[in-house]
Structure 1
């Protein structure tokens, strides 16, 4: 087990922020500073360089951070392998996954069912969070494989393409706007309901708007809701326009509860990727799982 000082250093180095590390570890910033100072005294060298309100790792800091990453991997392997020594051990593979809301709710259930049918020795654990928090869970070693929207350009992570989805504008069937063919400029005058910060759906929407010269902050956002289901249920009874994954509203569009609203020359597409920590790509259970997922989903399309 690594020491408390090293755990604190690791989180500050990962976040490159004393404030964020303090919030994650539930430790005061002064306590974090003391731990870092003690570690610097122990190694007799500085670990961070201060640049006004930002920090960066010194060469010594980078070395320690890389070594601590390796230690965490060893700890995880040890945790998985120790049960093998037990006389009561029954061969079983445990896969710890994380996926963003759309994938967890609308894509994975039938695919996971098919996988478990063929692999009865596997036990699955799935965490459902928005894309930002799935990435954080991977870096924190809470999960070993994630599926998120887009690519966040994190150097410690490898990305493997999975599938492409579309985000569409929808409104209640009682909303008069359903009868109109909109221009993207009309969004300046239409109340919107959108996902919370950190959502992959929101991120791709913002990117698509920027490509048309529009900033989300300029639009009349009435409400931000955490989760696809919450947003879907809200727009069903409200006059707002919402942007939701097509996969999430298939039933509501078919029943007529929601109506797709056409916005001329404005399309929002997103790519989902498997994410893994670098160095774990050849882990056999996860490699096989990814291959199965891609084959199975291609059959469902």
Structure 2
């Protein structure tokens, strides 16, 4: 078990503030300072240094923080593994997930509900960001398991295929774009387009597809960029622009006739979702979640 001194140190290191750590841990600031002082005496080195009104980790402090992160991860894995041996239904642990927007909103809820009903004692947290941000969070050890749409693989990450989804071109049912039944790929630079933000997996799929057809992405007539699937969806409902969205994210709007698919000859957009873990750092908890997710989607 990580000692209270180390818990205090990790909170100060993450917040780079004694006062914020005090608020998070519900102990006085002098007590926080005392814990850090005793820890520095134990290791016979400074763990923090002041830079004006701010504090920063020393080289020793950074090393200690990295090691404690690893210890904390082992602690969580051990808690889960031992509790499963005793009683799988009462298994305890922490599942820190990261998911791209589409996954978090439209794929993950069903899996989380089923997983929680079976493992009610496991604490689950979900970081909802675009694919690039989820990848960064995994490498920074802020999460232990991610689900993203992947376009470029990183050596430090292990990828496990999950599900495949279509990305389609859509517009409002009131849009003038529907006057034409089909468009060619060469028409795209002349159409008003709304896109997701940089780092979005949906955007990456579109870029790759256009590159195959020798269309420069910069040629597109982009009217607006929006952060998140819901923001883009809501904008398209009220605008005369064309947008590209995962089919799974707009199933209700398509069924209700609020959004209509715009057919672009020769443009097929498909993306693969992956589970991502740091190489060599999988766990039975991660494996159990992945297995359940795949079974729910009949994979």
Partner of 1:112: 112
Partner of 2:205: 204
Question: What is the DSSP-based 3-state SS (H/G/I as helix, E as strand, rest coil) of the residue aligned with 1:252?
Answer: helix
Structure-2 change in CA distance of 1:294 and 1:70 (3 Å): farther
For the pair 1:73 / 2:70, whether they are aligned, the reply is yes
Task: Report if the CA contact (8 A) 2:80-2:93 is conserved.
Answer: no
Q: How far apart, in 1, do the equivalents of 2:255 and 2:179 lie? A: 17
Q: How far apart, in 2, do the equivalents of 1:186 and 1:82 lie? A: 57
Partner of 1:195: 196
Count how many residue pairs are aligned between Structure 1 and Structure 2. 244
| CA deviation profile, 1:264-285 (whole Å, cap 9, x unmatched) | 010100000000001112x111
Q: What are the ranges of 5 or more consecutive residues in structure 2 without an aligned counterpart?
A: 1-5, 14-49, 82-89
Q: How far apart, in 2, do the equivalents of 1:102 and 1:183 lie? A: 27
Task: Report if the CA contact (8 A) 1:151-1:273 is conserved.
Answer: no
Task: Report if the CA contact (8 A) 2:79-2:93 is conserved.
Answer: no
Deviation, structure 1 residue 91: 5.7
Q: What are the ranges of 5 or more consecutive residues in structure 1 without an aligned counterpart?
A: 8-26, 43-63, 85-89
Task: Report if the CA contact (8 A) 2:99-2:147 is conserved.
Answer: yes
Question: What is the DSSP-based 3-state SS (H/G/I as helix, E as strand, rest coil) of the residue aligned with 1:141?
Answer: coil
Deviation, structure 1 residue 74: 2.8
Partner of 2:159: 159
Partner of 1:182: 183
Deviation, structure 1 residue 218: 1.1
| CA deviation profile, 1:202-250 (whole Å, cap 9, x unmatched) | 1111111111111211111010000000000001010110000000110
Q: How far apart, in 1, do the equivalents of 2:293 and 2:77 lie? A: 24
Deviation, structure 1 residue 177: 1.2
| CA deviation profile, 1:24-78 (whole Å, cap 9, x unmatched) | xxx99xx9xxx9xx96xx9xxxxxxxxxxxxxxxxxxxxx99x997764234334
What's the C-alpha RMSD, in Å, of the aligned pairs?
A: 3.2
TM-score by length of 1: 0.72
For the pair 1:92 / 2:92, whether they are aligned, the reply is yes
